[in-house]
Amino acid sequence: MSDSNQNRQQIIRIVFLLAGAFLLLRAADLQLLDDTYHNKSTAIAVGKYTLYPSRGLIYDRNGKLLTNNNPVYDVMVTYNQVDAGMDSLKLADILGLKMPDFRKRLNKDFRNYRYSKSKPFVFVSTVSAQTAALLQESLYEFPGFFVQTRNVRGYPHRNAAHVLGYIREVTPKEVKELDYRPGDYIGGSGLELEYEKELRGVQGSRFVLKDNLGREVSPYKDGENDTLAVSGKDLISSIDIELQKYGEELMQNKTGSIVAIEPATGEILAMISAPTYNPNLMTINRERGKFYNALLVDSLKPLFNRAVMAKYPPGSIFKSVIGLIGIQLGVVNPYVGMSCPGYYSYNSVRVGCRNHPYPADMGVALKYSCNAYFIDAFRDIVEIESFYKPHIGLDTFDHYLYRFGLGNPLGIDFPQEQKGNVPTSEYYDKIYPRDKGSWKSPTIMSVGIGQGEMEMTGMQMANLAATIANRGHYYVPHLAKKFVDDDFLIDEKYRTPVRVGVEPINFVTVVDGMESVVASGTGRRGQVPEVRTAGKTGTVQNPHGEDHSTFIAFAPVDNPKIAISVYVENSGGGSRYAAPIAGLMMEKYLKGQISDSKKIVDKTMKETDLNGG
Amino acid sequence: MRERPGKSADVFTLSLYLCLMAIGWSMLYSVGYNGGGYQVGITEFLTKTQAGKQTIWVLISLVVFFFTQIIDRKFWQTFAYPIYGFAMLLLIAVLIVGKEIKGATSWFAFGGFSIQPSEFAKFATCLATAAYLSRINVNLKYINAQAIAFGMILLPAALILLQPDAGSALIFFSFLVLFYREGFPANFFILGGSAVLFLILGIMFVEAPLKVVWAILILGNLVLLLNFPNKLYGGLAFAALLITSWLARGEEWANIIPLVIAAATAFLIAGILMLTRLKKKNRVFGIMSSAVLFASALVYLSAFSFDNFLRPHQQARINVWLNPADVDPQGAGYNLNQSKLAISSGGLEGQGFLKGNMTQLDYVPEQTTDFIFTAIGEEQGFIGSLSIIVFFLLLLHRITVIAERQRSAFVRCYAYGVAGILFLHFVVNIGMTMGLMPIIGIPLPFISKGGSALLGFSLMIGVLLKMDRHRTET
């Protein structure tokens, strides 16, 4: 038998030998030479300590601290380092646990991938500082257990809960989709959620070699894999905490919202949703679940942020918009009056009006909030093409409403902002099909007085006030001014004026009218002593109970520093609560205090309980 | 006709086989000891614990080994193809009726025990390839024989890949040892080996494949200049290239692009000089420029595929092997890290039987199967590692000796098939526990837990020894 490849057997043997030698060298390297693993005989595992960055703080516009970081302590355990013979009773006693609970916490379902016998898991979360200190002293008796420190939020002011939002533990879904690990904290609402990325900071980690009792033997690879934690950035918000606090006091035992904006910048000075809650209740601790559930089931929905999420019919404050658009389109002459018989009727439809002097021009009509005048103006706009083509007029009207920031979210730097509602011709076409008589301007005339399908959020109302204060433009309202020690500029869109398409000159009569509303009209109770103020009241018919009271205003008239919207549910006419509250807020902001002549109003407002509690 | 009894079995191989099996069993016993001992009765020990189950498998394997010694040696050669066919049917059947464990449908379950047909397929493929290659008219120098031989190993590999069990599928490439011995052209191994090397380099330098290209060009220059008739000028030119490269290197190889351009220019100049001045050396430049292009293309192909076609978890698995610095020691790198820590902590003498910290406290994942070597490393230290590696080398060497003393080409081929299979298992399994090889789940022969594997390897050794006993007969 011929075998010409005999010589290849040697090559195969050499390859075998070389591979074996290679393995042997590597084994010698690991077992004899490598000093990566100091104290080899005792180390059993590389442990990873997560270094939690401190979360960025939040300040108000004047540098007052709104949130701070308080340490909490989690007791961690690594199952297979636990000494079965330890004094479990003592440990349970320190931690305030009963034995069955103690055993349940220790014996997790290790078939579940979330738990491993050799990796630490949370045994008891958020124990008090005293408990943690007590445990630290006797920790050596309980191998496998250790205490991990983390920071949770505390709130020195107890105010602005909705603005700040809360932090919570991440959900399994977030762990899967975002760069978080189980047990990490994340912003759950408000600014904490909006600016999570900036506030969070970057986690660091430290790797150590551990022995079988979980004790640190030495750094792993001299710390070459370690990374430092980078603290989150501190946020300076636009909120004025004193104003916010005062607003919350005024709104106590009432339901509704206040939003105050600095017209020249769009910065939100105060954003109040009533009823509110103490943010310290939502800080992460062992009582939190209880408070959270109580807030969830409260019939007044304190967790619902009415300032940006509640959609309200604007009522008569909407007349200012109708006037402005009418003038801009040239269909309404603001200097021509219209007689008001005390109602407005078309065929059988009749809308009542108050008994008031003759509206000689638009200013007077605003002053007395004449329904007939503005329904007529609205109909003129809708009939701009012809009576029979109302959709052209309404589309034109809507075009301006969208530019005013209505019907769409404004795009504020805050989660869950609602868009309100603008009545559209598509919508009416659906309800009143064209083949069945269609719809005409009288069909929808209730829009002319801010009722019907028209809906706005408190934020949009305040932004309307700011737009009028600026005579034709606004800055998208926002809550962030800047981040400390950082050249971070707020987004371009918050620094660019948005023009609403109504010429500044066309604001003159409307602003004059609004000034007379406060000086001697329906909004007298919203006056700010010695400051020229413009405003507009609204009373929103409420088929379910008392009417809602609303008021938008800005002051001073010539150089506006503050624009505001107040909405008080179930409180009757706009002049009764909304106007005085707005007046007090503006005075507080402009003067820093309430003048003596207003003290009695201040007291009445604070003490009024509209929630029947 | 009754077979003659033959000589006694090769004592050396037999004792290594028994010895490795005993070591494996005691390491499994130690892993299951868990620092506290076995607080169970004998029945429970045998049915519930891993060492107990392995005891039964060892006994079964010894029985199988015994039967291989009394079954007629001609049986295996005569029925090589039917056995192979049967094994392929089993591989197909397991895809349909098999039991899924850890995401792979690789098992037939019978009551408390399960069987992995892929282990049996290794043995069957060994028989079939040996039967084919030992045919007098088959020559691996020719393409049709090469195609059939490759087909015979790729078929089971593909079926196993469907389970999917990439590790076991890869093992079928161990038949390359047999192919080489039986005359498969050596160039194929050189080319294939280089291709694998460049693919690996592409991943190791996935951030900057140009570095590898530069190194390839430098090597190319070296080969060209060595072929210059005047070695002194060639040597000087090459030294100049190296020195300028070193000087221009800069921080973190930031100047890699000019370096590559310089090396490529030098390569081209040398080539042009060769083509114009030395007409006879044309071929060298042709070969070298193809080699440089081919190697660079492979490096880029591999880096590009790694970045664009692999999913993050696949990248992580490869990074654990090739770029360990990029891996989270507690995430993807956890298993290997614990493995290296355990081996390393054994030191020279080891921590002693039943005394290894990590082994006893269950700190090494998959320690009874893929990572059984860590128990040896930790408890027996370098002395233990050395012994195991030497035992395997002795066994492998002995099998080649047995192979070469056969008169029958079939037995020689079969022996080299067995040697190749054992060799690849041994190198990859021990290599992966120390980070030298990618982590693919294959057992360490005779040592790792797992009845099918032990049975399969016992069958291979048993049949080999039986045939060797009759080596003088025709």
What H or E segment, with its residue span, contains residue A216?
Answer: strand A216-219
Residue B25 pLDDT > 70, yes or no? yes
Residue A19 placed within a domain: no
**Of B196, B195, B155, whose CA–CA distance to B175 is shortest?**
B155
* Same domain? A232 vs A245: no
Residue B391 placed within a domain: yes
Lowest mean pLDDT among B328-332, B432-436, B441-445: B328-332
- Residues B120 and B57: their CA atoms lie apart, in Å, by 15
* Same domain? B124 vs B88: yes
B201 or A210: which leads in pLDDT: B201
Residue A613 placed within a domain: no
* Same domain? A282 vs A148: no
- Helix B209-226 / helix B186-204 crossing angle, nearest 10 deg: 140
Q: How far is CA A323 from CA A334, A374, A375, A421, A511, in A?
A: 8, 7, 10, 19, 11
Residue B454 pLDDT > 80, yes or no? yes
pLDDT band per the 50, 70, 90 thresholds, residue A448: confident
Residue B52 pLDDT > 60, yes or no? yes
Q: What is the mean pLDDT of residues B441-468?
A: 94
Q: Which tens digits make up the pLDDT trace of A220-241?
A: 777 777 888 888 999 999 999 9
* Same domain? B233 vs B295: yes
pLDDT band per the 50, 70, 90 thresholds, residue B1: very low
* Same domain? A89 vs A186: yes
Last residue within a domain, chosen from A192, A207, A237: A237
Task: Say how many C-beta atoms besides its own lie within 10 A of residue A191's C-beta.
Answer: 25
Per-residue pLDDT, A434: 72
B397 to chain A: which residues are within 8 Å by CB? 13, 16-17
What H or E segment, with its residue span, contains residue A259?
Answer: strand A256-262
Residue A135 placed within a domain: yes
Per-residue pLDDT, A462: 96
AA identity, residue A256: G
Strand order in the sheet with B113-115: B99-101, B104-110, B113-115
B138 to chain A: which residues are within 8 Å by CB? none
Greatest alpha-carbon span in chain A: 129
Tell whether A17 lies on the interface with B, counting CB pairs under 8 A: yes
| CATH number of the domain to which A184 belongs | 3.90.1310.10
* Same domain? B346 vs B445: yes
Cβ of B436 within 8 Å of Cβ of A22? The answer is yes
Which of B181, B346, B377 has its CB closest to that of A12? B181
Residue A15 placed within a domain: no
Q: Which tens digits make up the pLDDT trace of B100-116?
A: 887 788 889 887 778 89
Which of B343, B345, B396 has its CB closest to that of A41? B345
Tell whether A16 lies on the interface with B, counting CB pairs under 8 A: yes
Last residue within a domain, chosen from A220, A237, A254: A237
Cβ of A46 within 8 Å of Cβ of B431? The answer is no
Q: Which tens digits make up the pLDDT trace of B143-194?
A: 999 999 999 999 999 999 999 888 899 999 999 999 999 999 999 999 999 9
Q: What is the mean pLDDT of residues A450-473?
A: 94
* Same domain? A406 vs A523: yes
Which of B180, B357, B403 has its CB closest to that of A44? B357
Tell whether A14 lies on the interface with B, counting CB pairs under 8 A: no
Per-residue pLDDT, A42: 63
Residue A600 pLDDT > 80, yes or no? yes
Residue in B closest to A47 by C-alpha: B330
The residue whose two tokens read 């099998």 is B399
* Same domain? A158 vs A258: no
Which of B348, B357, B385 has its CB closest to that of A42? B357
Question: Which residues, in sequence order, are bridge partners of residue A257?
Answer: A273, A567
Range of the domain at B76: 11-184+332-468
- Residues B285 and B298: their CA atoms lie apart, in Å, by 20
* Same domain? A498 vs A532: yes
Which of B182, B343, B397 has its CB closest to that of A27? B343
**Of A383, A344, A339, A346, whose CA–CA distance to A364 is shortest?**
A339
* Same domain? A164 vs A312: no
* Same domain? A78 vs A192: yes
Residue A41 placed within a domain: no
| CATH number of the domain to which A532 belongs | 3.40.710.10
* Same domain? B178 vs B223: no
Interface test with A, best of B133, B138, B345 (most A CBs within 10 A): B345
Which of B358, B404, B436 has its CB closest to that of A44? B358
Last residue within a domain, chosen from A218, A237, A256: A237
Range of the domain at A582: 241-607
Structurally, chain B folds into a number of domains equal to 2
Cβ of B330 within 8 Å of Cβ of A220? The answer is no
Cβ of A41 within 8 Å of Cβ of B341? The answer is no
Which residues between 162 and 191 in chain B have a beta carbon less than 8 angstroms from any beta carbon of chain A?
177, 180-183
What is the DSSP code (8-state) at residue A227?
A: B
Tell whether A503 lies on the interface with B, counting CB pairs under 8 A: no
Residue A33 placed within a domain: no
Structurally, chain A folds into a number of domains equal to 2
Tell whether B221 lies on the interface with A, counting CB pairs under 8 A: no
Per-residue pLDDT, B280: 61
Q: Specify whether the CB–CB gap between A257 and A468 falls below 8 A.
A: no
A23 to chain B: which residues are within 8 Å by CB? 389, 427, 430-431, 434, 436
Per-residue pLDDT, A38: 46
**Of B304, B433, B330, whose CA–CA distance to B27 is shortest?**
B433
Residue B320 placed within a domain: no
The alpha helices in A487-564, defined as continuous H runs, are 508-520
* Same domain? B31 vs B170: yes
Contacts of A237 (CB under 8 A, 6+ apart): A58, A59, A60, A61, A66, A163, A191, A479, A480, A481
Cβ of A26 within 8 Å of Cβ of B436? The answer is yes
Residue A287 pLDDT > 80, yes or no? no
Which residues between 574 and 613 in chain A have a beta carbon less than 8 angstroms from any beta carbon of chain B?
none
- Residues A535 and A524: their CA atoms lie apart, in Å, by 9
Residue B321 placed within a domain: no
Last residue within a domain, chosen from B274, B309, B344: B309
What does pTM read for this prediction?
0.63
ipTM over 0.90: yes
Cβ of A16 within 8 Å of Cβ of B423? The answer is yes
Which residues between 337 and 356 in chain B have a beta carbon less than 8 angstroms from any beta carbon of chain A?
337-338, 340-341, 343-348, 351
* Same domain? B132 vs B217: no
A530: alpha, beta or left? (left if phi > 0; alpha if psi -120 to 50):
left
Per-residue pLDDT, A163: 94
How many Cβ pairs closer than 8 A exist between chain A and B? 129
- Residues A490 and A163: their CA atoms lie apart, in Å, by 17
Contacts of A223 (CB under 8 A, 6+ apart): A206, A207
* Same domain? A522 vs A576: yes
Residue B405 pLDDT > 70, yes or no? yes
Q: Which tens digits make up the pLDDT trace of A196-227?
A: 999 998 888 888 877 666 667 777 777 777 88
- Residues B450 and A257: their CA atoms lie apart, in Å, by 70
Q: For chain B, first and last CA: distance in Å?
A: 15
* Same domain? A109 vs A233: yes
* Same domain? A451 vs A548: yes
B410 to chain A: which residues are within 8 Å by CB? none
- b/e map A149-161, b = 16+ CB within 10 Å: ebbbbebebebbb
A18 to chain B: which residues are within 8 Å by CB? none
* Same domain? A451 vs A366: yes
Which residues between 64 and 103 in chain A have a beta carbon less than 8 angstroms from any beta carbon of chain B?
80-81
Which of B180, B341, B347 has its CB closest to that of A12? B180
Interface test with B, best of A6, A10, A12, A13 (most B CBs within 10 A): A12
Per-residue pLDDT, A180: 83
